[in-house]
Chains A and B, each alone.
Chain A
Amino acid sequence: MVIRKKTIGFKGGFNLLDAYPLDFCNIIEDICSDGTPETFQFCMPDQKIEHVVVNLCPTEPWALPNWVILKHKITEFLTMLKAIKTSYFPEAKVSVAVNEKEARTVADAMNFAGKEDWICVYPLSAKYPQDDPVLLTKVILRMDINFGQATESSGVLILDAQTVSAIYESCVLGKNVASRFITLSGTGLKENEILNIQLGTSIEKILENKVREAIKSRVFVNGPLRGQEITGLSQKIDWSVNHIVVLEENDRKVLFPMVKADELKLTTNVLGELRRCVYCNFCDDICPVDLEPALYYHSYMRGEKHKARLYNLGKCIECGLCSFICPSKLELLEIIRECKAPDRQK
């Protein structure tokens, strides 16, 4: 079954792939840990799965590119998917989200899906945060789930390319999967790389000799937008780590920043001074779930957190785009998180 709808998508969002283009080296380096390797284990969800969504449309430039797993052969990948579906989710519908700009992948996937009735292919635009579970289910399945809720409880299982291939290897073929691909990128590194890492390797070992010396840098697991900053490098790689981004801190004043935009780009510098909200509407134009983040800011500044919760605050998917775009450099995401947290008992 083929579905081709031009209008599919959502309002707002931001194309990070165009704004921060990153190139990766074609050679994949293997890194082994000294300890005993951990292995990938797939836990079958307890709930009945009605929809399996496979996301082949990464929206962040530092995410693992599709070619690493697919090797430009989408048909083989979909055959793998079919094997998983027949043995584990015989009754589920499978939806595959592909980047509409990858014309060959889209055409091959459409060709494959034309002959099978269990799979639908959705060409999507790679706008951040399209790959968020809430937006994926909303755009593809027209289902509303809440942010923070496990999608399995609504009968939806979301998988990425690497997990599909790992499930195939470990469950269908019965092999041991003890390593995974992650990307290592950012302005704090000598070069951007794709690594094949044994599970359980510490981040310290991965970053050895790869970070640029003589600059201050900060390490983010799973990207600077949705991920976390880590200070101690002893954390070990498990299956939830998809990418590591190392950014230059850049806490110095740069002279003539208007002609030297690339020197400050992709650093943790906020690129401007802190000001008051000027009601520019940038945050609600970019918001992918159609909220008005400035309303939360004003409620918060007046000390009325309970009021902020009335303005659909629960719908926020915490993608961070409002803080990202704000010309006054307000910490909108932080304010939203504080408003969401229940009031402390006095």
Chain B
Amino acid sequence: MKNLLKPVEPIIGKGLDAIESFIHSHKKVNFFFGAIFEAFDDLLRSSRLTAKEPPYIRNNYDVKRFMGAVLVALVCGWVLPAIYFYGWQCVLLSLFVSTIIGVFIVDVGWAIIAKEDHISEGGFVTCLLIPAILPPQSPLWLVGLGAALAIIFRNALGGVGNNLVNPALFSRLFLTICFPALLVTGYQTPFVGMPDIHTFRYGLDAVTHATPLTAFKASGEVTSGLSLLLGTSGGSLGETCRLALIASGLWLIKMRVVNWRIPVSYLGSVFVFSVFFSLTMGKAVAPPIFQLLSGGLILGAFFMATDPITTTYNQAAKWIFGAGCGFITVLIRDFTTLSEGVMYAILLMNLLAIPIQSLMVKIRYRV
């Protein structure tokens, strides 16, 4: 790899230096293209900063690698399986629209207006999550609107590091409120009626199909665990192939990007509470294994609830956070008219994270 890059290195290096000095010497060019150049340059080259304060050596692990690992895990966890199950036209087009609108239009535009130095790589993660939590048949404008809303919302709160709630989920909540019909009906059985270029203009005729959780609410039908695990049942674009999601989630835990306490406590509490309600209420509520494997729970537990900024900082409080998510999820699924509760559970617990955090700090330091 190193040898392969050697011949192009001087050319790219000189080119980047030339562009950099050009951009910095022209104020107007810097105003419009400074942020996007910095983002691109950061991807290719290391930073010029040196340690001014002790310690004078630093570990080779930065936020870019942190986000990069999440991107890799998301691609392996949902993009590749979704391409297999729903066709590349559906997946890649949604991703393309979401990234172009979210990162390259809204985020860059924001950086220009707010005069920020660079755009954050967290935007890519958000834009990769937006199509995953929308139905496979959702129109492209909905995906684009979702991405734009998520990025605007995140930036309005102060950007990465200041998010109150998960921006992707917040945007989905917004879409659920504004366009309920689109978010309830757009589900289909995998492999059937794959949308192609024409369907985005003329609409898709494929028969929509209820998700396993809606089907259970309507008729008490329990989908088999194997089908849920492999992804041959319906659901949002990115939540169906649980096997791949679990594998990439475990890889993230191994890379220490995801804190293991949250998935363990979230999935554990969903299991415990659904066992409890199954024992007390019998067939009226969904059985535990079906609950664990259905809906967006796996995607939510490994990729959404674990978003470090929106959870608590304290490690012990993370257990409470995860358990709370699980409890609310089971409550919503079992006792409300809504069939799925992961989104509401994570958003609610995101809001509760701050009080939980300050409570745990008070308990720990007795202040």
- Partner-B contacts on A (CB < 8 A): 20, 218, 220, 224-229, 247, 249-257, 259-261, 264-282, 284-285, 292, 294-295, 310-312, 320-321, 323-329, 331, 333-334
B64 touches A273 (CB 8 A): yes
Residue of A nearest to B45 (CB): A253
- Min Cβ gap B49→A in Å is 5
A sample of 7 cross-chain residue pairs with beta-carbon separation below 8 angstroms, ordered by A number, consists of A251-B48, A271-B46, A272-B58, A273-B42, A292-B313, A328-B62, A331-B52
B55 touches A320 (CB 8 A): yes
- Min Cβ gap A321→B in Å is 8
- Give the complex CA separation of A252 and B120 in angstroms: 22
- Min Cβ gap A11→B in Å is 11
- Give the complex CA separation of A250 and B13 in angstroms: 16
- Min Cβ gap A187→B in Å is 10
B311 touches A280 (CB 8 A): no
- Min Cβ gap B34→A in Å is 15
Chain A residues contacting B65 (CB-CB under 8 Å) are: 327
- Min Cβ gap B13→A in Å is 5
Tell which of B1-9, B87-95, B183-191 binds the partner: B1-9
Mask: chain B, 107-138; 1 = CB below 8 Å from A; 0 = not: 00000000000101000000000000000000
Majority secondary structure of chain B interface residues (helix, strand, loop or mixed): loop
- Give the complex CA separation of A247 and B56 in angstroms: 9
Closest 10 CB pairs of A and B: A272-B62, A276-B161, A320-B55, A224-B56, A257-B46, A253-B45, A334-B53, A279-B308, A310-B367, A254-B46
B313 touches A274 (CB 8 A): no
- Min Cβ gap A341→B in Å is 14
Residue of A nearest to B56 (CB): A224
Chain A residues contacting B256 (CB-CB under 8 Å) are: 282, 285
Does B365 sit at the interface, judged by CB under 8 A?
yes
Chain B residues contacting A227 (CB-CB under 8 Å) are: 54
Chain B residues contacting A259 (CB-CB under 8 Å) are: 1-2, 5
Mask: chain B, 30-71; 1 = CB below 8 Å from A; 0 = not: 000000000001101111111111111111111111100000
Asked whether A257 and B313 contact (CB < 8 A) given A270-B50, A273-B63, A327-B61, the answer is no
Asked whether A278 and B56 contact (CB < 8 A) given A251-B50, A256-B44, A264-B46, the answer is no
- Give the complex CA separation of A276 and B309 in angstroms: 10
- Min Cβ gap A325→B in Å is 5
Asked whether A273 and B62 contact (CB < 8 A) given A259-B5, A294-B313, the answer is yes
A324 touches B57 (CB 8 A): yes
Contact of B59 among A218, A224, A284, A324 (CB under 8 A): A324
Does B314 sit at the interface, judged by CB under 8 A?
yes
- Give the complex CA separation of A249 and B51 in angstroms: 9
A270 touches B61 (CB 8 A): no
B9 touches A277 (CB 8 A): no
Does B208 sit at the interface, judged by CB under 8 A?
no
A275 touches B54 (CB 8 A): no
Does B80 sit at the interface, judged by CB under 8 A?
no
Asked whether A220 and B56 contact (CB < 8 A) given A273-B49, A310-B367, the answer is yes
B44 touches A271 (CB 8 A): no
The residues in B between 297 and 343 inclusive whose CB is less than 8 angstroms from any CB of A are: 308-309, 311, 313-315
- Give the complex CA separation of A282 and B311 in angstroms: 15
Asked whether A327 and B53 contact (CB < 8 A) given A255-B45, A271-B60, A275-B160, the answer is no
Does B139 sit at the interface, judged by CB under 8 A?
no
B315 touches A284 (CB 8 A): yes
Chain A residues contacting B278 (CB-CB under 8 Å) are: none
Chain A residues contacting B223 (CB-CB under 8 Å) are: none
Asked whether A266 and B57 contact (CB < 8 A) given A259-B1, A276-B162, A292-B313, the answer is yes
A277 touches B47 (CB 8 A): no
Does B182 sit at the interface, judged by CB under 8 A?
no
A329 touches B160 (CB 8 A): no
Does B348 sit at the interface, judged by CB under 8 A?
no
A325 touches B160 (CB 8 A): no
A277 touches B50 (CB 8 A): no
- Min Cβ gap B56→A in Å is 4
Does B288 sit at the interface, judged by CB under 8 A?
no
B62 touches A329 (CB 8 A): yes
The residues in B between 225 and 267 inclusive whose CB is less than 8 angstroms from any CB of A are: 256-257, 259
- Give the complex CA separation of A294 and B361 in angstroms: 12
- Min Cβ gap B143→A in Å is 26
Does B268 sit at the interface, judged by CB under 8 A?
no
Chain A residues contacting B48 (CB-CB under 8 Å) are: 251-253
Chain B residues contacting A228 (CB-CB under 8 Å) are: 54
A329 touches B308 (CB 8 A): no
- Give the complex CA separation of A334 and B53 in angstroms: 7
A273 touches B1 (CB 8 A): no
Chain B residues contacting A256 (CB-CB under 8 Å) are: 5, 9, 44-45
Instruction: List 7 additional contacts besides A256-B5, A275-B62, A278-B63; criterion CB under 8 Å.
Output: A254-B46, A259-B2, A270-B47, A273-B118, A279-B308, A292-B313, A329-B49
Chain A residues contacting B12 (CB-CB under 8 Å) are: 255
- Give the complex CA separation of A324 and B65 in angstroms: 16
A224 touches B50 (CB 8 A): no
Asked whether A249 and B1 contact (CB < 8 A) given A270-B58, A271-B60, A273-B63, the answer is no
Chain B residues contacting A251 (CB-CB under 8 Å) are: 48-50
Does B287 sit at the interface, judged by CB under 8 A?
no
B56 touches A268 (CB 8 A): yes
Contact of A280 among B44, B66, B314, B365 (CB under 8 A): B66
- Min Cβ gap A125→B in Å is 19
- Min Cβ gap B153→A in Å is 17
Residue of B nearest to A335 (CB): B53
- Give the complex CA separation of A273 and B120 in angstroms: 11
Contact of B55 among A273, A277, A282, A333 (CB under 8 A): A333
- Give the complex CA separation of A38 and B66 in angstroms: 52
Chain A residues contacting B160 (CB-CB under 8 Å) are: 275-276, 278
- Give the complex CA separation of A288 and B118 in angstroms: 34
Contact of B313 among A247, A249, A281, A320 (CB under 8 A): A281
- Min Cβ gap B116→A in Å is 12
Chain B residues contacting A255 (CB-CB under 8 Å) are: 5, 9, 12-13, 16, 44-45
Chain B residues contacting A292 (CB-CB under 8 Å) are: 313-314
- Min Cβ gap B22→A in Å is 16
- Min Cβ gap A334→B in Å is 4
Contact of B161 among A218, A226, A273, A278 (CB under 8 A): A278
Chain A residues contacting B64 (CB-CB under 8 Å) are: 272-273
B61 touches A269 (CB 8 A): no
